[in-house]
Amino acid sequence: MSPELTNHPLIRADGSATHTTSLFTILAAVNGPIEVQRRDELPEEAAIEVNIRPCAGIGGPRERWLESVLAALLKSVLLVHAHPRTLMQVTLQVLKEPSSGVRVRRRLGDVAVLPALVNAAFAACVDAGLPLGRTVVAGLAVVREDGDGVVVDPDEKALAGCRSVHAMGFDAQGELLLNESGGQFELRQWQDVFEVLKTTAAVAIAPTGEDEAMMNGDGTPAPWLRQALEGNAREAGAWRGVG
C-alpha cells in the first residue's frame, strides 16, 4: 500500500496534514512562527516544540523520546535562523496504530511510528509555508527473524515477527538525516537496510515526467511525496491562475 497524504484537514491551524501508512495514521498540525514563552526563547533562532499525542491515553516517556528525536530532525530541516525569537509548534496525533490482534513488541512498535510522524510533520510544515532548508522523507524497514531479507513498509505481521526495525530519514540529496534502529542486528544488515531505504526515499521524491500515467502502469512505485507536494503547490497558486 502506497502512503497517503491529505493536505490541510484542519482549517484553523497554520498547516496540517494527515498521513496514512500501512500501520499508522497520523494527524499533524503546525503553528508558526508564533510567540514564544520567555523561558524557551532563543535569541538567534526559532524554538521548536513538538507535541505527540498517542492513540489512547496521555503521553509518557515514550512520547517524550519521540518528541526529542523529531525536534532534532526538524531543527535540521527548518530554516530556524529565519525566524529568531519565535516558536514553531508541531502537534502530532496518532489516529490509528496496529490493532491489538497481532502482538507487536512495544519497543519495536515505538520505532515503527517514527517514519509516519516524520512524513506527517514535514507535510504539515510545507502546508504551513514554513521556510525549509531541505526535503525529508522517512521510511521504515524490518529485518526478518531469520536474519535475512529486508521488508520495506512492513505490515503488522512482518513487524510482529521481526528481529530488528529501522526508521531512516533522507533528504533529496540522499543524505541520512535520521536513523533509529532497534532490536538485534549486525552492521551488514544495517547497510542492506540503508541501501534499500535510500532507494525507497529517492523514489518517493523522484521527479515526475510527462508520462506519469505510463510509469505507474508497469508497477513502479509512485513518487507519492512529490505528487502530494506538487498538488499542494498547484492548489496554493490556483488563485492567480498559475499551473
Instruction: Name the site residues for other proteins (rule: CB under 8 A).
Output: 60-62, 64-65, 67-69, 72-73, 75-76, 79, 81, 103, 105-107, 110, 133, 171, 173, 175-187, 190-191, 194
Residues with Cβ within 8 Å of 47's Cβ and at least 6 positions away in sequence, in order, are 36, 40, 41, 86, 87, 88
Q: Which is nearer to other proteins, 25 or 63 (CB)?
A: 63
Smallest Cα–Cα separation from 207: which of 172, 232, 242?
Answer: 172
How far apart are CB 69 and other proteins at their closest, in Å?
5
Q: How far is the CB of 5 from other proteins (least distance, A)?
A: 23
DSSP state of 88: E
Q: Which is nearer to other proteins, 188 or 240 (CB)?
A: 188
State the nearest-atom distance from the C-beta of 184 to other proteins, in Å. Answer: 5
Q: How far apart are CA 217 and CA 232, in angstroms?
A: 24
Q: Rounded to the nearest whole angstrom, what is the least distance from the CB of residue 9 to other proteins in the complex?
A: 27
CA geometry: angle 140, 1, 132, nearest 5 deg? 55
Nearest to other proteins of 133, 221 (CB atom): 133
Distance CA 233, CA 242 (A): 10
Q: How many CA atoms lie within 13 A of 70 on its CB side?
A: 29
Query: Least distance to other proteins from the beta carbon of 174, Å?
Result: 9
Comparing CB distances to other proteins, the nearer of 174 and 237 is: 174
Give 181 or 208: the residue with its C-beta nearer to other proteins. Answer: 181
